[in-house]
C-alpha cells in the first residue's frame, strides 16, 4: 500500500463522495446522511479551505482540511477536519494526513493554533489528535445530534511547536 499525501484536485471528488457515503464516517462529523455529490463538492469549494488527500493509486482514501480564518485577529488560527475511508481505518492513513497538515501549518502557513471538535465517544480520533499534540480544552454538552441522540463534543487544540510561551 503506497499512499501519498498531496493537494486535493477536482478528480478527487469521487473518492471524497465515497468517504462521505458511510454512516460510520458521517456520524462523527457535523454533516447529515445522504449528502450527495453536489453537497460534498460544495463543502470542499470554499476558498478558506486547504485540503490534502491521501492518494492510493489515484483514489482519494482520506482527507485533512485546514479551515483558515479571514478575520485579521484570527489569521493565526485554523480549524482542522479529517476523514478516512472505513477500509483504511487503523492503517496509518490518519497519521499520515495529520503529520502533513501539521507540517504545512507550522512551516508554511504560519498557523499558531489548530483547533477541532470531536465526539466524546470517538476514542480512535481522540487518540490520533493526542498523538499529534492536541490537548483537551473543554467539553460542549449536547452540542451535536448523532444517531438519534444528542451527544457531547470535546474541544481540542494544538499550539505550534515553534511558539514560545
Q: Is residue 164 domain-resident?
A: no
Instruction: Give how many domains the chain has, as a whole number.
Output: 1
Predicted pLDDT of residue 31: 63
Q: Is residue 132 domain-resident?
A: yes
pLDDT in tens, the chain (165 residues): 699 999 999 999 999 888 888 777 766 666 656 666 777 777 788 888 999 999 999 999 999 999 999 899 999 999 999 999 999 999 999 999 999 999 999 999 999 999 999 999 999 999 999 999 999 999 999 988 888 889 999 999 999 977 765
Nearest to 30 by CA among 77, 55, 67: 67
Predicted pLDDT of residue 46: 84
Per the DSSP assignment, residues forming a β-bridge with 82 are 64
CATH number at residue 29: 3.40.630.30
Q: Is 134 exposed, middle or buried (0-12, 13-18, 19+ CB in 10 A)?
A: buried
Q: Is 83 exposed, middle or buried (0-12, 13-18, 19+ CB in 10 A)?
A: buried
Please report the DSSP string for 83-100 in residue order: EE-GGGTTTTHHHHHHHH
pTM: 0.89
Host domain of residue 79: 3-159
Predicted pLDDT of residue 29: 66
Residue 112: φ, ψ to 5°: -85, -40
Q: Is residue 165 domain-resident?
A: no
Predicted pLDDT of residue 165: 56
Predicted pLDDT of residue 34: 63
Amino acid at each position: 500500500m503506497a499512499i501519498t499525501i498531496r493537494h486535493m484536485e477536482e478528480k478527487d471528488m469521487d473518492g471524497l463522495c465515497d468517504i462521505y457515503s458511510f454512516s460510520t464516517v458521517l456520524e462523527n462529523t457535523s454533516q447529515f446522511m445522504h449528502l450527495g455529490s453536489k453537497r460534498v463538492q460544495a463543502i470542499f469549494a470554499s476558498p478558506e479551505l486547504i485540503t490534502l488527500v491521501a492518494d492510493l493509486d489515484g483514489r482519494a482514501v482520506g482527507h485533512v482540511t485546514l479551515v483558515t480564518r479571514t478575520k485579521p485577529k484570527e489569521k493565526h488560527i485554523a480549524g482542522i477536519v479529517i476523514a478516512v475511508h472505513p477500509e483504511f481505518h487503523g492503517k496509518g492513513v490518519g497519521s499520515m494526513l495529520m503529520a502533513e497538515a501539521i507540517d504545512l501549518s507550522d512551516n508554511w502557513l504560519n498557523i499558531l493554533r489548530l483547533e477541532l471538535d470531536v465526539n466524546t465517544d470517538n476514542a480512535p480520533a481522540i487518540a490520533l489528535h493526542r498523538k499529534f499534540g492536541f490537548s483537551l480544552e473543554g467539553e460542549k454538552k449536547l452540542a451535536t445530534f448523532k444517531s438519534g441522540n444528542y451527544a457531547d463534543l470535546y474541544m481540542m487544540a494544538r499550539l505550534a511547536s515553534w511558539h514560545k510561551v
